[in-house]
């Protein structure tokens, strides 16, 4: 079931000799979903190197504490990069450590649904027909005459009634009902009861994430945006219509690579000196140009004449660009041209783990080669490889390595390995 997630989430996991290795996605996966509350929800948290050994050497209490730190770090990064409203960021670290990721997501959704409900549910006019003792709306003569034989004194009326029973509120209610079997903590239970009471006048309609995403948005639904976004995410994980069989594994997963890139950009902005602008992506360049040459035979024979012909063919060919480059984060001094100027530094965010027992700390050669291409094309001499870590990580005495690269012309570029705390 986990392997099948790769069909919708590229490189989510891969088989290893002894099990499954997860890659760059964090969040929730629902396995073996047989009913509204059936199955097991797998929580995928960041595996953050803290400099104190792996989980195998840690005890149960240390593993629980580490999971709490990882969960809190994930919530902070999601709030920054995706704009999700997560109210639990201000709760005590101990409380966040005890709550599951699903419970925290449900609690955040219920808060948004309550915010919408307390501001007044969206209402629509709906045509309804009923037998009434007084005329309300339009009287339907044929139906009223038939009614006179069995229930004299009543009038069959058709009228437009203002009601909150519409697709937007039905979507919120559907998500509220789907969350109920997965509520675990008392604080979340209280929020659920309060939120459910506000939707007493809304009928329950089965909905899935696709239908919620298809609801039209407009000025009158602006205040519903965050609640509908949460409803779509949770229904995608919990709705039985999306978990049609035991082989399916509904997910609520987040690609951590772009999320960590945004986090690294935030980290750089917080410490950048005056006169330096930090930019996330956006400065596209190409490593080379391509000149299409004419074949030597067509250029005019062999020998020197052929060489001259080849050179002329290169000049006459149409030049194209090749090998697209776009660094994750660039630090630009004021007044420097963003198109062809040289940045003060280049930062490449890597959602990977390190191995300080190795002399190069396990830095991937491909990552170093990529940065050398950046340094060459952007004419820059300073670069950093940013990796995630905990703020309390125990570093070796010598600290992270710094690599020196000899460039043509006698210049020396440096690539520094940097550990960016993701829990602060």
Residue 51: pLDDT band (50, 70, 90) is low
**pLDDT for residue 39:** 73
Torsion of CA 101, 106, 112, 113, to 10 degrees: 170
Q: Are 404 and 273 within one domain?
A: yes
CB 15 within 8 A of CB 3: yes
Same domain, 310 and 274: no
Tens digits of per-residue pLDDT, 245-287?
A: 444 578 899 999 999 999 999 999 999 999 999 999 888 999 9
Range among 79-93, 299-313, 326-340 rated most confident: 326-340
Task: Tell me what the mean pLDDT of segment 301-309 comes to.
Answer: 50
Q: From CA 90, how far away is CA 167, in angstroms rounded?
A: 33
Q: Are residues 357 and 272 part of one domain?
A: yes
Structure tokens of 106?
């449900």
The answer to whether residues 297 and 415 belong to one domain is no
Domain count, the chain: 3
Q: Which domain holds residue 299?
A: 289-323
H-only helix segments in 239-335: 256-271, 296-300, 303-316
Residue 142 domain-assigned (yes or no):
yes
Residues 287, 281: Cα–Cα separation, whole Å: 16
Indicate whether 349 and 365 sit together in one domain. yes
Last residue of a domain, one of 132, 163, 194: 163
Task: Tell me which of 88-102, 123-137, 217-231, 271-285 is least confident.
Answer: 88-102
Asked if 276 and 363 sit in the same domain, the reply is yes
Neighbours of 364 (CB within 10 A): 12
Residue 274, helix vs strand vs coil: coil
pLDDT for 35 equals: 55
Cβ atoms of 88 and 99 within 8 Å: the answer is yes
Closest CA to 34 of 226, 290, 250: 250
Answer whether 400's CB lies under 8 Å from 368's CB. no
Query: Do residues 311 and 334 share a domain?
Result: no
| 17-40: average pLDDT | 79
In a domain, 265, yes or no: yes
Residues 156 and 273 reside in one and the same domain: no
Q: Within a domain: residue 53?
A: no
Taking Cα atoms as reference points, which of 82, 125, 260, 252 lies closest to residue 182?
252
Q: Which residue has the tokens 């997560």?
A: 86
224 lies in a domain?
A: no
Q: Give buried/exposed letters for 301-334 (b at 16+ CB in 10 A, else e).
A: eeeeebeebbeebeeeeeeeeeeebebbbbbbee
Give the domain-ending residue among 163, 193, 227: 163
Q: Look up the CATH number of the domain holding residue 347.
A: 3.40.1350
Listed residues 143, 163, 183: the one ending a domain:
163
Based on the fold, state whether residues 387 and 281 are members of the same structural domain: yes
**Residue 286: strand, helix, or coil:** strand
Strand segments, DSSP code E, in 303-411 are 319-325, 329-333, 345-349, 382-389, 402-406
Query: Residue 81 pLDDT > 90, yes or no?
Result: no
Distance CA 321, CA 307 (A): 24
* Cβ pair 345, 383 in contact under 8 A: yes
Q: Residues 102, 43: contact at Cβ < 8 Å? A: yes
Domain for residue 416, yes or no?
Answer: yes
Beta-carbon contacts of 142 under 8 Å, excluding residues fewer than 6 positions away, are none
What is the C-alpha to C-alpha distance for residues 358 and 355, in angstroms, rounded to an integer? 6
Same domain? For 339 and 376 the reply is yes
- Give the contacts of 253 (CB within 8 A, at least 6 positions apart): 5, 9, 12, 25, 26, 27, 28, 29, 44
* Helix ranges restricted to H, 99-244: 101-118, 141-150, 167-179, 186-198, 209-213, 225-238
Say yes or no: 370 and 301 in one domain: no
User: Is residue 69 predicted with pLDDT exceeding 70?
Assistant: yes
The answer to whether residues 278 and 300 belong to one domain is no
CA–CA gap between residue 115 and residue 117 (Å, rounded): 6
């Amino acid at each position: 079931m986990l392997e099948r997630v790769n069909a919708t989430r590229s490189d989510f996991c891969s088989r290893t000799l002894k099990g499954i290795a997860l890659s760059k996605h964090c969040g929730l996966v629902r396995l073996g979903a047989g009913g509204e509350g059936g199955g097991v929800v797998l929580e995928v948290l960041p595996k953050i190197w803290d400099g104190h050994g792996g989980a195998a050497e840690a005890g149960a209490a240390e593993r629980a504490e580490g999971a709490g730190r990882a969960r809190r770090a994930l919530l902070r990064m999601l709030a920054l990069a995706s704009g999700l409203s997560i109210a639990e960021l201000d709760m005590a670290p101990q409380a966040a450590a005890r709550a599951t990721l699903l419970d925290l997501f449900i609690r955040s959704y219920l808060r948004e649904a309550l915010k919408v409900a307390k501001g007044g549910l969206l209402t629509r006019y709906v045509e309804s027909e009923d037998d009434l003792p007084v005329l309300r709306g339009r009287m339907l003569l044929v139906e009223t005459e038939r009614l006179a034989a069995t229930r004299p004194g009543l009038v069959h009326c058709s009228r437009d009634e203002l009601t909150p029973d519409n697709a937007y509120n039905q979507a919120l209610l559907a998500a509220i009902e789907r969350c109920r079997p997965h509520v675990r903590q008392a604080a979340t239970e209280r929020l659920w009861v309060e939120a459910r009471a506000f939707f007493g006048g809304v009928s329950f309609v089965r909905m899935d994430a696709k239908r919620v995403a298809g609801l039209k948005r407009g000025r009158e639904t602006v205040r519903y945006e965050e609640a509908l976004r949460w409803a779509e995410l949770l229904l995608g994980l919990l709705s039985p219509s999306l978990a049609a069989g035991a082989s399916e594994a509904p997910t609520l997963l987040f690609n951590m690579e772009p999320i960590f890139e945004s986090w690294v950009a935030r980290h750089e902005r917080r410490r950048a000196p005056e006169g330096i602008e930090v930019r996330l992506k956006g400065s596209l360049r190409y490593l080379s140009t391509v000149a299409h040459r004419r074949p030597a035979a067509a250029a005019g024979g062999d020998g020197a004449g052929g060489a001259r012909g080849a050179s002329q063919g290169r000049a006459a060919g149409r030049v194209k660009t090749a090998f697209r480059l776009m660094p994750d984060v660039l630090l630009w001094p004021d007044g420097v041209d963003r198109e062809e100027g040289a940045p003060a530094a280049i930062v490449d965010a890597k959602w990977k783990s390190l191995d300080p027992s190795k002399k190069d700390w396990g830095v991937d050669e491909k990552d170093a080669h990529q940065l050398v291409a950046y340094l060459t094309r952007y004419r820059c001499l300073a670069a950093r490889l940013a990796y995630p870590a905990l703020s309390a990580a125990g570093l070796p005495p010598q600290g992270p390595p710094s690599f020196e690269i000899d460039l043509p012309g006698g210049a020396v570029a440096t690539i520094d390995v940097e550990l960016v705390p993701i829990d602060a």
